[in-house]
Every structure is written in structure tokens, then in C-alpha cells.
Amino acid sequence: MKKRFNPIKDKSSEIIEYLMSSPDMPDDEMLRFKLRLSIEEAVVNVVQYAYEGGIGWLEAGTSLDEDKLILSIELRDAGTPFNPLEKEDPDLTLDADQRQIGGLGIFLCKKMMDSISYRYENGNNVLTMTKKIQ
């Protein structure tokens, strides 16, 4: 299941709901919570930062492996090249007012998902998140 949204400005909720309504999504509520949180963080980051003014596209999709055990969520955009995995994890031992701004969202994604990968190919940012669902 894959769809392109263009332009993406003000479409975070629509993109998130599209992904969460995928027939690939598990029924388990705890898994759905983790997936939604990760999807929200990743989508909002693309919508807010990939393109100036939100004028650009985002292709979002889900797929299951052949055994239907692992769900993959892929986000692809042609915005400014940016690997969110290179950002240093926040130091959670510090008080909130002592920490640098940013980075908490991708940190949460790393904790909620089984794997996250980034690649830049053919002028596109491609973020892939996977989660074992059975």
C-alpha cells in the first residue's frame, strides 16, 4: 500500500491516518500505539522540515514481509537531504531545560521500532521503519 501526497503542507494528520488505516497494520493495541507514535514523529518531521513552506511531496507506504511477521513503513521525499539517525540521542539524565532542543522524536522512534534505516537515493530521502508484529 503506497500513496503520494502533494503538497504535504497541513497534511500530517491525513498522512498518519492513511498509514494507520493500512490493512497491513496489526490489531494489537499496544503495537498500534507504538506504530502510531513512530509514524507521527517521522511524518511531522518530514512535513515541517523537508521542504520550505511545505510545498513538496511525500510518498508513504506500508508492506509486510512474505511471512506477514514484519511490518515495514517507508517514507520517501525529495526534500533537503537529511539523515535523522545521525542526530545524537538526547541525554535523558539531564533536566528538560538543560537538554538541547530536538532529537527526542527520532529517539522515541528508535525505542518503539525494531529497526530504522535511512538512505539517500536518486535525489530522495528514504526512511524505513520496521516492527515485528507477530
Residue 81 has a pLDDT of 94
pLDDT tens-digit readout, 35-74: 999 999 999 999 988 998 878 999 999 999 999 999 999 9
> How much is the mean pLDDT over the chain?
89
Sequence-ordered list of residues with C-beta below 8 angstroms from that of 128, at least 6 positions apart, any chain: 72, 73, 74, 75, 116, 117, 118
Residue 96 has a pLDDT of 56
Helices within the chain (DSSP H only):
12-20, 29-49, 104-112
CB 73 within 8 A of CB 126: no
CB 73 within 8 A of CB 128: yes
Sequence-ordered list of residues with C-beta below 8 angstroms from that of 75, at least 6 positions apart, any chain: 42, 43, 46, 58, 59, 60, 125, 126, 127, 128
Residue 134 has a pLDDT of 84
Its pTM stands at 0.88
- Residues 51 and 88: their CA atoms lie apart, in Å, by 23
CATH number at residue 89: 3.30.565.10
Tell me which residue range forms the domain holding 59. 2-132
- Please state the domain count of the chain: 1
